[in-house]
Structure 1
Amino acid sequence: MIIETLKLLEEMNNKLSALSGLAEDDLFSIQQAILITSESIAQLKSMLTKSDFDSITAEIRFFKKLKPQFDGRLIFYLMQLRMQTKSFSSDRSLSYEKELQHAEVFYQSQYSFWQYYKMGLSDLDEHYFTRKGGEEPLFLDEQQIHYDSKSNTPMSAVVARFHAYELLKDHYSRLTTAPALPTSQTKGKVLTLSWTSSKSELIELIYALHEYRAFNNGQLDIKKVAEYFSTVFNVRFSNIYKTYEDIRLRKKNNTPFLDALKSCLERRIDRDNENAM
C-alpha cells in the first residue's frame, strides 16, 4: 500500500510540475491542477477499499505523512481558484493576505497539535492517525474535502490543511519577491530604462533568449527571467504564458518583433559599413 501510494504521489507531482502556468496563477492551469489532484485522491480512496495496511506503523505513515499531501494540494488549488476569480474585481495580493490571515487563525486554533506535529512527536500517533483513533473532527470548513472515516483519521485532515497553508505561504512569497537588481553601492549609478514597445514584443524576446539558453546556461525558469525583465524595464506582465500562447498561435508570422530586430541590425551594419568606406 505504501509503495503504491508513493508511486501515485510521484505521478501526481510530475503532472502538476508540467503545468507551468501554476506559478503565474493561470486560471486554466489551476483548474487542471484541481482535476489532477482530485483524480489522484479518487485513486487513493479506491486503493484503500481494495487493500489494507501491513501494520499500524504503515497506517500511521500513510495518514500522517502521505495522504495529507494529496488533500493539502487540492485544498491549496481550491484556495487559488477562489482568489483568482475574486481578483477580477479586487486586488489579488489582498486576497492572498486575507487567506494568510485565515491560516494564522487556524494555526492558533490547532496550536497544541501543530507543536506536536512540527516537533515530530509520535506518542499519540495511534490515536491521531489510525482509523480506529477518535471521533470525527467538527472543524473542517472546506466543503470540497468531505470527511470520510474510511479514508481519513481524526487529524489527517488537519495535517492536510497545514500542507495547504504552507503551499500558500511559499507561493505568495515567490509572487512578491522581486529579483535583486544592482545597487549604487555594488555597481555604481544604475541607469533606469523603461520598455516602450509592446509587452508581447518583450515576451517574444524573453522566450527567444530563454530558449537560446542565454541566461545561467538555461537553468533559470522562464518566470524568473520574466520577473527580472519586468523589474529592469518597469513593465508589469499579467500572464506571460497566455501571451506566449497567443504568439504561438499566430497564423502569419510567429516572430514579427525578432524579425524586425534582425532587419534593423542588418540595416545598421550596412549603413555603418558604407560610412566606413
Structure 2
Amino acid sequence: MQKYINEILLRINEEMELRGIDENVNTEDALYMIDVIRPLFEKLREMTIAYEFQSEQEEIHFFKEIKPDILGRYIFFHKVVRIEMKRPIGSDDVQREYLHSQLNSLKYFFDQNLDFYQYYRSRATHLDTYYFVRYKSNFRLCLDCNFLDKDPAFSTGFDYKVAKILSNEMLRIYLNRQLQLLDRKTQIAEIRTSLSDFSLKWTGSKSEAIEWGYGLFAAKSLNYGNATIKEIMAFIEAAFGIELGDYYRTYLSLKNRKKDRTAFFTFIVEQLQKRMDDDNL
C-alpha cells in the first residue's frame, strides 16, 4: 500500500515538474493532470477498500494526510478548468470582477467551515477518530463532504474537507496570479502609450530578454534598486514589443542550466570586449 502511495505522489510530482506547472497552470495543463490523476486515484480507491489498516492511527494518517494531498490536487485541476471555461470574454475590468468573485467563493467555504479549518490548521488531534476513521462520521454534519468521493469505504467525509482546504489554497494563489497578469497587461498598455513615439524592436530570443530583465533587477540599476521584477518585465515588453509570457518559469529554466546560466550576459561581455579591441586597432 505505502509503495503504491509513494508511486502516485512521485508520478504526480514528476508530471507537474515536467510541464512546469505552478500557480500559473493553464487549462491544457489542468486537463492533462486530470487525466494523469484520475486513474491513479481510482486505483488507490480499489487498493484502500481491499486493504486492512494495521491500526486506527494508520487509518487516520491516510485520511488526514495522504488521501487529501492527492484529492486536493485533483479538485484543484478540476476547478481551474471550470474557472477558465466559465471565464467571461470582455474587458479587463469584467475579468477582474469574475476572478474576485471566485476568490470570494473560497472565503465563503472558509467561513462555512471555520471550526474545522481551525481544528485542522492548529494540528489538533483530539477529534481525529471522529473525523478521519471510516463509518464514524456523522454526514449530517458534513453535507458537502462527498462531491467527488461518495464511497463510504474510501471516505470519512472530512478527508474531503481537508482536500478542499488544500485545493483552495492552491486556487487562491492561482487566482491572485491571474489578477497580477491582468494588472501587468494594463501596465504594459500604459507604458506603450507613453512610448508611442519611440520604438525599438527586440530581435533577440525571449529567454535573452528575460535574462536581461533579471540582470537589471539583480543589479538594482533601476529606480535606485526599488523597481520590482514585475515593473521591469512590463517595461521590456512594452518598450520592445515582445510578449515574455511566464517569465518566472523561464527564469527557473535559466537558473537550472548546467552550463553558463548567464549565457546572454557572457555573450554581451564578449562582444563588447571584441568591439573595444577592434576600436584600438
Q: Quickly name the TM-score band, shorter chain normalised.
A: 0.5 to 0.7
- Checking the alignment, whether the CA contact within 8 Å between 1:129 and 1:156 is kept in structure 2 is yes
1:99 aligned residue: 102
Query: How far off its partner does 1:16 sit?
Result: 1.5
Matched, 1:54 2:39: no
Match of 1:8 in 2: 8
Could you say which residue in structure 2 is the equivalent of 1:181?
none
**Where does residue 120 of structure 1 map in the other structure?**
123
| One-letter amino acid of the structure 1 residue matched with residue 10 of structure 2 | E
1:154 maps onto 2:157 in alignment: yes
Q: Point out where structure 2 has 5 or more consecutive residues left out of the alignment.
A: 182-193, 219-228, 251-263
Asked if 2 retains the 8 angstrom alpha-carbon contact of 1:63 and 1:152, the reply is yes
Whether the aligned pair in 1 keeps the contact of 2:135 and 2:152 (CA below 8 Å) is: no
CA pair 56-141 structure 1, distance change in 2 beyond 3 A: closer
- Secondary structure of the residue that 1:24 maps to in structure 2? coil
Aligned to 2:82: 82
Which letter does structure 1 place at the counterpart of 2:149?
H
Q: Deviations over 1:54-95 (max 9, x none)?
A: 111010000011111111111111121122223351454443
- In the alignment, the residues of structure 2 paired with residue 141 and residue 93 of structure 1 have an alpha-carbon distance, to the nearest angstrom, of 31
1:203, 1:94 → 2: CA distance? 31
> Is 1:167 paired with 2:170?
yes
Structure 1 residues 20 and 41: alpha-carbon distance in aligned structure 2, compared to 1, 3 A threshold: same
CA distance in 2 between counterparts of 1:200 and 1:60 reads 58
**TM-score (ref. length: structure 1):** 0.66
**Percent of aligned positions with the same letter in both sequences?**
20
Task: Tell me the SS of whatever aligns to 1:233.
Answer: helix
CA distance in 2 between counterparts of 1:115 and 1:11 reads: 31
CA offset digits 1:128-167 (Å, max 9, x no partner):
101121233322585xx13221211121111111001111
User: What aligned pairs does 1:89-238 form with structure 2 within 5 A after superposition?
Assistant: 89-90=89-90, 91=92, 92-136=95-139, 137-140=142-145, 142=147, 145-174=148-177, 196=199, 203=206, 205-206=208-209, 230-235=233-238, 237=243
Within a 5 Å distance, the mapping from 1:36-47 to structure 2 comes to 36-47=36-47
- Counterpart of 2:104 in 1: which secondary structure? helix
**In 2, Cα distance between the equivalents of 1:84 and 1:36?**
19
* 3-state secondary structure, aligned to 2:64: helix
- 1:172 deviation in Å? 3.5
**Structure 1 CA distance for aligned equivalents of residues 17 and 64 of structure 2:** 24
TM-score normalised by the chain length of structure 2: 0.65
CA RMSD of aligned residues (A): 4.0
Take 1:111 and 1:3, find their aligned partners in 2: how far apart are those partners? Answer: 35
Q: Which amino acid aligns with 1:205?
A: E
What is the count of residue pairs matched by the alignment? 229
- Structure 1 residues 18, 199: closer, same or farther in 2, change over 3 A? farther
